Structure 1
Amino acid sequence: MKVFVMNRMLFGSVWLATMLVTAGCSLAPNYEKPEVTTPQAYKEQKAPTPLGSVEAGNWKTAEPSEAFARGEWWRVFNDTTLDHLESQARDANQNLVAAAARLKEARALNQSARSALFPTVDAGFGPTRQRVSPASQFQSDSGQGASQTMWRAQGGVSYEVDMFGRVASSVDAADAETQRSEALFQSVLLALQADVAQNYFALRELDAEVLVYNRAIELREQALKLVQQQYSLGDTSELDVARAESELATAQSDAMTIQRLRAASEHSLAVLLGKAPAEFSMAASPLQPVNLRIPPGLPSSLLERRPDIAAAERSMAAANARIGVAKAAFFPSLTLTGTAGFESGSLSNLFKWSSRTFLLGPLAGTALDLPIFDGGLREGNLAKARADYEEDVANYRQQVLVAFREVEDNLSDLRVLEEQTLTQSRAVEASSRAAKVARAQYTEGDVIYLSVIDAERTALQSRRAAVQLQGAQVAATVNLIRALGGGWGSASAVKNQEVTQR
């Protein structure tokens, strides 16, 4: 008998020791970020700076760094109106409010997942009225069953021992999902800031186009008066008058088209600011050339700056942790439960010491559950978790490639636009000179009016193209900043150290 008791004690001690050793051991694979091909410099970078000995020694594999301050990057444009608009958008944009709500939801889910690390405690109080059947009292069916009222005041506790890391892996997945939501919020914020800047500069570009058309209308009004005078003197035909009237009406119609586009652009900007279009208007302010050169830095730093890349990386980490949750389902689970309190047939005797009661262990079922057969459910869940992780790895690598492409696209745009703007400036100067010469020659009777029309059309198209190139240049600058992941800390640091004038 003593040997039997000792064997039971030994078995119990070994079992308890095993439970303590396995508690909290995660079955999730060791998480390592997948390798991605990172060039040492951008293809479109004009003069890639070679790594010096110090910088080369500090060069490292990029890691997501959502804590890195992006700063108010739009201040590099030195535009107080834009600064004010960005502040309004940050405070009132509804897409950003929705993203903030999603972040709150992720944090709430994280809190729910973490609650499994702690025991649950509850308490209850109340009466129970019960009548049992005669058969349950081993009496005949014609007998009288007993009735009774039971008063209970009890507290209960339940705790799942995390033997194989199911709870820990669930918490790790929830932590990664929360960080992913934080990165997505930053991505929405960056997109909003860039959209506001692009819409603002697009609006100012349209203002500049309106200015070009207004000047063209003035010149064509003057030309029409000149043609009408010459027609009244018999020096020209009615055809020239009709052509001058047509050119004037065409310019006026094109100017109205620009006004229509400007109204739509202003409405879009109002929505970005969280306002109804009727509540927002912006005074005309023609776009001025923006001559900024944004340094792209090392390609490896892009992986640390882009919030969408950080979100994709955190999604991988969450999927990796969920593999551990799926693996833990193959092993036993241990739940410790207990209740204690008072139970009495009358309320007056409920809290007497003799009315105390307790229960250790589950009221129904067992404390230790061992899965045996489920028709392949666990195998399917594990295979799905692994497939989800593989998908997230592919999405991460693809996001990195897209990020590199976006940076290269905007670098090439800025490189070509810089040269194209200079070329177009020469075209504007030449076409304006040609239009002036054509008007003078027509006044002298050396050329027909059709030559004046062609020269003025060319001059108008050149001026408008120049304005559009200025708009494309500032849009590419904003897009490059967005592709690089935002700002660089404080605005003063950007202006003094990194942004240079072209």
Structure 2
Amino acid sequence: MLKTGVALVVMLAVSGCMLGPDYVRPEQAVPEAFAAADGWKVAQPGRADAGNWWANFDDPVLAALLQQLEQDNQNLIAAEAAWREARAALGGSRSALYPQLDAQAGDTRAQQAGGDIGNNRNVQLGLGWQLDVWGQVRRQVEAGQARLDASAADWAALRLSQQSLLAQNYIQLRSLDEQLRITAANIDAYQRVLRISENRYQAGMVTRADVSQALTQLKSTEAQQLDLHSQRARSAHAIAVLLGRPASGFGLAAVDGLPAMPALPQTLPSSLLERRPDIAAAEQRVMAANAEIGVAKTAYFPTFGFSASGGYRADAWSGLISTPNRFWSLGPQLDLRLFDAGARRAKLQQAEAAYDQQVAGYRQATLEAIAEVEDTLVQLASLEQEYAVQAEALESARDALRLIENQYAAGLVDFTVVSNAMTTAHSAERTLLGLQASRLTASVQLISALGGGWDAADTPTAQ
């Protein structure tokens, strides 16, 4: 009889099945191509691989900061710990596939009802194995693996987000450096005009109003300079926090110019969108929820196990390990819940609802990703056109200013004309700088929207 039971257990273990639906990627209605750019089409989500996308900006300081971010950003450290937690949980799920071996030793003194007081010494080993006949444990492992992959994708998504945020703050800081440079040049220009106005006033050629107006422009620009210094400090503090460093004492030396504008390719392969880690994480959570449905279904079926134990038991330690004191047990086990007042059905309905929730989240993440890429492409195209037009406007304003300054020095125009020309030229220069910074920021956002950058191997060049 015992041999028959053992044979039955082994047969069930070998021929075990897996209940529940196998994973199929949810259908999603998506456009065939991005409307904002030719050659862009929607791809299927895969594993994220952002790469060293910052190399496109040709800025060694930015590259060094992003490398520091990888090591010291506290949010990334927390995400890495969450990934290790998920990995440990997966290891715990896998352990249920294997037998468990226990050792026990005891020394008790007891009295049976109305009997003598006696000692009981024992040493024994126990073996237990819950057979995964219906695939409950394997589905749990499948869900655990999907959660681990989702945690890794969350980590990658956070890394890309923090990198993007640092790059945008860095561009803002460098833009402020350029604004400070422009403002310093404007202050020099206003001081020069103020001296001309004072000289002409002393000569009786203009009224005091010209001097007052020139002084007002100078002091207003100096006030703007102070505000720009304050904004720059705040940008530096934001970068310090992203690097896991105290804001006090952190600083970045000013440099001339902004990072290089990445050359945006004419076409991009669909594989770029597959890098988006948030889409990968959403799909992994769908996979985990799908596996949990299988786990819930196994509760309707009996569980099969196998246990064995053996050891020695006696009333004294001396001579304990001997044949007369030996005992053992061996046999299969079956467990089937006959009534639970709907608890199993509720668990299955809960798992199915959780799956539907994750499917909706996956589809929403895909829609938002497509919209984000579309928005950024439109923004970049518009900014490129604005930048070209504004560059022409700045050149024209500078030419006009040079002519009007010469005319003012010769007494041909009054100061109001000079003031308006200076304001127009300086405003055009600041606007052009703002557009340049906006284009760089939009490029970073596009890289983030695509889950990483691109290189020559990714993109065919336009013919």
Q: Bin the TM-score by the shorter chain.
A: over 0.9
Give the alignment's TM-score, normalised by structure 1: 0.86
Kindly indicate whether residue 46 of structure 2 is the aligned counterpart of residue 64 of structure 1: yes
CA deviation map 1:219-265 (0-9, x unaligned): 11111111122222222222222221111111011111111111110
Partner Cα distance (1:204, 1:298) in 2: 29
Contact in 2 for aligned 1:292/1:499 (Cα 8 Å): no
In the other structure, the counterpart of 1:311 is 281
Residue 107 of structure 2, aligned match among 99, 117, 127: 127
3-state DSSP class of the match of 2:453?
Answer: coil
Residue 324 of structure 2, aligned match among 354, 379, 382: 354
In the other structure, the counterpart of 2:39 is 48
Kindly indicate whether residue 430 of structure 2 is the aligned counterpart of residue 438 of structure 1: no
Partner Cα distance (1:459, 1:9) in 2: 97
- Tell me the amino acid that sits aligned with residue 240 of structure 2: A
Partner Cα distance (1:293, 1:81) in 2: 20
- Tell me the amino acid that sits aligned with residue 253 of structure 1: A
Contact in 2 for aligned 1:41/1:298 (Cα 8 Å): no
Residue 86 of structure 1, aligned match among 55, 66, 80: 66
Residue 495 of structure 1 deviates from its aligned partner by: 4.7
In the other structure, the counterpart of 1:477 is 443
Partner Cα distance (1:266, 1:203) in 2: 7
Contact in 2 for aligned 1:208/1:287 (Cα 8 Å): yes
In the other structure, the counterpart of 1:290 is 260
CA deviation map 1:375-403 (0-9, x unaligned): 22111111111111111111111111111
3-state DSSP class of the match of 2:169?
Answer: helix
3-state DSSP class of the match of 2:309?
Answer: strand
In the other structure, the counterpart of 1:242 is 212
Contact in 2 for aligned 1:293/1:499 (Cα 8 Å): no
Partner Cα distance (2:149, 2:423) in 1: 56
Aligned length: 462
Partner Cα distance (2:335, 2:267) in 1: 56
Contact in 2 for aligned 1:64/1:313 (Cα 8 Å): no
Contact in 2 for aligned 1:159/1:336 (Cα 8 Å): yes
Tell me how large the CA RMSD over aligned residues is: 2.6
3-state DSSP class of the match of 2:18?
Answer: coil
The percent identity for this pair of structures is 37
User: Cα–Cα, structure 1 residues 19 and 13, in superposed 2: closer, same or farther, change >3 Å?
Assistant: same
3-state DSSP class of the match of 1:498?
Answer: coil
3-state DSSP class of the match of 2:339?
Answer: coil
Residue 18 of structure 1 deviates from its aligned partner by: 7.3
3-state DSSP class of the match of 2:388?
Answer: helix
- Tell me the amino acid that sits aligned with residue 378 of structure 2: S
In the other structure, the counterpart of 2:312 is 342
Alignment of 1:26-425 (within 5 A): 26-45=18-37, 47-48=38-39, 62-66=44-48, 69-134=49-114, 145-288=115-258, 290-295=260-265, 300-360=270-330, 367-425=333-391
Contact in 1 for aligned 2:293/2:352 (Cα 8 Å): yes
Residue 334 of structure 1 deviates from its aligned partner by: 2.0
- Tell me the amino acid that sits aligned with residue 474 of structure 1: L
Partner Cα distance (1:228, 1:374) in 2: 97
- Tell me the amino acid that sits aligned with residue 62 of structure 1: Q
- Tell me the amino acid that sits aligned with residue 220 of structure 1: Y
CA deviation map 1:129-173 (0-9, x unaligned): 212221xxxxxxxxxx42111111111121111121111111110
Partner Cα distance (1:182, 1:295) in 2: 29
Partner Cα distance (2:369, 2:150) in 1: 17
Partner Cα distance (1:215, 1:63) in 2: 50
More deviation, 421-430/237-246: 237-246
Residue 418 of structure 1 deviates from its aligned partner by: 1.1
3-state DSSP class of the match of 1:469?
Answer: helix
Partner Cα distance (1:497, 1:32) in 2: 29
3-state DSSP class of the match of 2:318?
Answer: helix
Partner Cα distance (2:182, 2:203) in 1: 32
3-state DSSP class of the match of 1:357?
Answer: strand
CA deviation map 1:293-343 (0-9, x unaligned): 334856742452111111111101000000000111111112322321111
Partner Cα distance (1:298, 1:430) in 2: 36
In the other structure, the counterpart of 1:453 is 419
User: Cα–Cα, structure 1 residues 499 and 189, in superposed 2: closer, same or farther, change >3 Å?
Assistant: farther
User: Cα–Cα, structure 1 residues 227 and 13, in superposed 2: closer, same or farther, change >3 Å?
Assistant: closer
Kindly indicate whether residue 459 of structure 2 is the aligned counterpart of residue 498 of structure 1: yes
CA deviation map 1:45-67 (0-9, x unaligned): 1x4389xxxxxxxxx9735234x
Residue 21 of structure 1 deviates from its aligned partner by: 6.5
Give structure 1 stretches of 5+ with no counterpart.
51-59, 135-144, 489-493
User: Cα–Cα, structure 1 residues 436 and 500, in superposed 2: closer, same or farther, change >3 Å?
Assistant: farther
Give structure 2 stretches of 5+ with no counterpart.
none
Contact in 1 for aligned 2:58/2:260 (Cα 8 Å): no
Contact in 2 for aligned 1:294/1:481 (Cα 8 Å): no
Contact in 1 for aligned 2:268/2:459 (Cα 8 Å): no
Contact in 1 for aligned 2:51/2:453 (Cα 8 Å): yes
Partner Cα distance (2:259, 2:192) in 1: 29
User: Cα–Cα, structure 1 residues 316 and 300, in superposed 2: closer, same or farther, change >3 Å?
Assistant: farther
Partner Cα distance (1:298, 1:322) in 2: 38
- Tell me the amino acid that sits aligned with residue 22 of structure 2: N
3-state DSSP class of the match of 1:257?
Answer: helix
